[in-house]
């Protein structure tokens, strides 16, 4: 497998965005060993500075020169920017981790969550674009993959409750501004979503196809199949936006290949990397977006059998995960860490016993 130098030169494209800023915070908090850092954003941010490890780093505009001498680049600047620039960084010798959907279906670009399919990185022996999966899919699969490996998930029905952050920093700002305007009885700013978001729920704002499914719903099927290397798993999803800021919630109904029990499911989840079980029936305390916000772990609760599936083969879960962190920036940094030459903990775990190290 290809390795980065001990102290790689790193670039972030989309550094001023919600995910880009989180990438910076995570590189800092995880003490990612880097030699130099370059930040890129759109021309409107050129010259503005962002603090990293005590230094003010100026944002630059992408250019032919920009792609030179970069070992690792993290992209979160939208699909079009990735399509145009990610191959140029790769061709100039960089490992590219791309948070957009531009390369997720490309067989030459591994689609990876370290807790799900890290082996997909083993074949990377040259500069490559690695695709960071869709946020709802990451959050679901961190919780469900340990069950799939042990019991075999044949079908998953997902209902998502998605936060504003998935649509970027400006969408978060719009929700916050609607809350302020509401208390002042002022007109609401609806530029991003074209509707009142506060106190509302609406179908996910991605393109909807002739079959009635939107792109977000389709990604849950296609990306799950790709990461599980299974063309047989059946997935159907309903994805909606709810007025939360940065953590997605998802109700997941699973149909297994064999009979299982609540006890068995709890046992697998209790030791799953990147998972924290929050399941207190007595005090009605289960995963909540506000508790997941700012956390690395995916919170899992409402663990129960699904009596609508025969033969004890069905179970239901409710999960919450920080869309900006594990749904995007943290997963990207974990993928980058996979390429470092020094052994280090590469997945979020709750006990050293379950840490994955090189
Ligand atoms: P800018 O802040 O200058 O617009 P978000 O997903 O939170 O909306 O963030 C999108 C990120 O992508 C921002 O950092 C944005 O920069 C950046 N971006 C948008 N267009 C480009 C572009 N053409 N080149 C580089 N970065 C871009």
CA 49 to centroid of ligand 1, rounded, Å: 14
Are 183 and 263 in contact by the 8 Å Cβ rule? The answer is no
Give me the count of residues in the chain.
Answer: 358
How far CA 193 is from CA of 164, 166, 200, 203, in Å, comes to: 10, 12, 12, 11
Give CA–CA dist 30/340, Å, rounded: 13
Q: Look at residue 65 and tell me if it is in a domain.
A: yes
Per-residue model confidence (pLDDT) at position 124: 97
CATH, residue 301: 3.30.360.10
Per-residue model confidence (pLDDT) at position 345: 57
Q: What are phi and psi of 148, to 5 degrees?
A: -60, -45
Closest CA to ligand 1's atom 17: 14
Give CA–CA dist 26/184, Å, rounded: 36
Do 292 and 168 fall into the same domain? yes
Which residue, among 270, 323, 333, has the nearest Cα to 137 in the 3D structure?
A: 323
Do 124 and 152 fall into the same domain? no
Give the confidence band of 344 by pLDDT, cuts at 50, 70, 90: low
Mutation test of ligand 1: which of 77, 99, 169, 174 has the most ligand atoms closer than 8 Å to its C-beta? 77
Do 101 and 141 fall into the same domain? no
Retrieve residue 68's tokens. 């030179």
Which residue, among 76, 93, 115, has the nearest Cα to 5 in the 3D structure?
A: 93
Residue 352 above 70 pLDDT? Answer: no
Look up the domain containing 174 and give its range: 137-323+350-355
Mutation test of ligand 1: which of 12, 14, 66 has the most ligand atoms closer than 8 Å to its C-beta? 14
Do 24 and 121 fall into the same domain? yes
Do 67 and 154 fall into the same domain? no
Are 84 and 73 in contact by the 8 Å Cβ rule? The answer is no
Active centre residues (catalytic): 135, 248
Give CA–CA dist 299/320, Å, rounded: 5
Q: Who contacts 228 (Cβ-Cβ below 8 Å, separation ≥6)?
A: 116, 117, 141, 145, 148
CA 316 to centroid of ligand 1, rounded, Å: 38
Average pLDDT over residues 13-40: 98
Q: Look at residue 3 and tell me if it is in a domain.
A: no
Euclidean distance between the first and final Cα of the chain, in Å? 12
Q: Which atom of ligand 1 is nearest to the CA of 16?
A: 14
Domain count, the chain: 2
Closest CA to ligand 1's atom 26: 41
Per-residue model confidence (pLDDT) at position 357: 31
CATH, residue 28: 3.40.50.720
Mutation test of ligand 1: which of 78, 102, 172 has the most ligand atoms closer than 8 Å to its C-beta? 78
Per-residue model confidence (pLDDT) at position 342: 76
Closest CA to ligand 1's atom 3: 42
Average pLDDT over residues 301-324: 98
CA 273 to centroid of ligand 1, rounded, Å: 32
Q: Look at residue 4 and tell me if it is in a domain.
A: no
Please report, to the nearest 10 degrees, the dihedral formed by the alpha carbons of residues 289, 295, 296, 297 taken in order.
-60
Q: What are phi and psi of 299, to 5 degrees?
A: -85, 135
Do 103 and 227 fall into the same domain? no
Q: Which atom of ligand 1 is nearest to the CA of 41?
A: 26
Per-residue model confidence (pLDDT) at position 348: 54
Instruction: State the average pLDDT for the chain.
Output: 95
Q: Look at residue 41 and tell me if it is in a domain.
A: yes
Do 154 and 115 fall into the same domain? no
Average pLDDT over residues 69-73: 97
Do 21 and 121 fall into the same domain? yes
Do 121 and 189 fall into the same domain? no
CA 184 to centroid of ligand 1, rounded, Å: 31
CA 187 to centroid of ligand 1, rounded, Å: 27
Q: Look at residue 226 and tell me if it is in a domain.
A: yes
What is the per-residue burial (b if ≥16 Cβ within 10 Å, else e) of 242-281? Answer: bbbbbbbbbebbbbbeeebeeebbeebbeebbbbbbbbee
Percent of the chain scoring above 90 in pLDDT? 95
Closest CA to ligand 1's atom 23: 42
CA 195-201-206 angle, to 5 degrees, is: 70
3-state secondary structure at position 93 = coil
Residue 356 above 60 pLDDT? Answer: no
CA 130 to centroid of ligand 1, rounded, Å: 20
In tens, the pLDDT along 207-262 reads 999 999 999 999 999 999 999 999 999 999 999 999 999 999 999 999 999 999 99
Query: Which residues form ligand 1's pocket by a CB distance below 6 Å?
Result: 13-18, 20, 40-42, 44-45, 62, 77-78, 81, 168-170
CA 128-354-342 angle, to 5 degrees, is: 45
Percent of the chain scoring above 70 in pLDDT? 96
Q: What are phi and psi of 235, to 5 degrees?
A: -135, 135
CA 17 to centroid of ligand 1, rounded, Å: 6
Do 65 and 141 fall into the same domain? no
Mutation test of ligand 1: which of 12, 15, 38, 41 has the most ligand atoms closer than 8 Å to its C-beta? 41
Which residue, among 64, 20, 25, 18, has the nearest Cα to 40 in the 3D structure?
A: 20
Q: Which atom of ligand 1 is nearest to the CA of 44?
A: 3
DSSP bridge partners of 167: none
Per-residue model confidence (pLDDT) at position 347: 62
Do 99 and 170 fall into the same domain? no
In tens, the pLDDT along 188-211 reads 999 999 999 999 999 999 999 999
Do 319 and 206 fall into the same domain? yes
């Amino acid at each position: 497998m290809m390795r980065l130098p001990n102290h790689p030169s790193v670039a972030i494209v989309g550094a001023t965005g919600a995910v880009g800023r989180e990438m910076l915070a995570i590189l800092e908090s995880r003490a990612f060993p880097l030699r130099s850092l370059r930040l890129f954003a759109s021309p409107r941010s050129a010259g503005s500075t962002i603090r990293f490890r005590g230094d003010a780093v100026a944002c630059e505009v992408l250019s032919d020169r920009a792609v030179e001498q970069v070992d690792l680049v993290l992209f979160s600047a939208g699909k079009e920017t990735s399509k145009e620039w990610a191959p140029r960084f790769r061709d100039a010798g960089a490992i590219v981790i791309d948070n957009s959907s531009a390369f997720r279906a490309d067989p030459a670009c591994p689609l990876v969550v370290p807790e799900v399919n890290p082996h997909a990185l083993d074949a990377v022996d040259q500069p490559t674009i690695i695709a960071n999966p869709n946020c709802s899919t990451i959050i679901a699969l961190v919780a469900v993959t340990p069950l799939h490996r042990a019991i075999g998930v044949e079908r998953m029905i997902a209902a998502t409750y998605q936060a504003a952050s998935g649509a970027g920093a400006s969408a978060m700002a719009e929700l916050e501004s609607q809350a302020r305007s509401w208390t002042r009885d002022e007109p609401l700013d609806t530029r991003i979503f074209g509707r009142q978001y506060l106190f509302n729920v609406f179908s996910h704002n991605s393109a909807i196809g002739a079959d009635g499914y939107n792109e977000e719903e389709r990604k849950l099927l296609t990306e799950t199949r790709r990461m599980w290397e299974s063309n047989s798993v059946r997935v159907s999803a309903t994805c909606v936006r709810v007025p939360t800021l940065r953590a997605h919630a998802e109700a997941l109904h699973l149909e297994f290949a064999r009979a299982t029990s609540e006890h068995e499911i709890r046992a697998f989840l209790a030791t799953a990397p990147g998972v924290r079980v929050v399941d207190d029936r007595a005090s009605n305390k289960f995963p909540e977006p506000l508790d997941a916000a700012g956390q690395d772990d995916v919170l899992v609760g409402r663990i129960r059998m699904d009596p609508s599936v025969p033969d004890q083969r069905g179970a239901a879960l409710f999960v919450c995960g920080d869309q900006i962190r594990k749904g995007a920036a943290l997963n990207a940094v974990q993928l980058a860490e996979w390429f470092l030459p020094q052994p280090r903990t590469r997945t979020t775990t709750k006990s050293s016993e379950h840490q994955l190290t090189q």
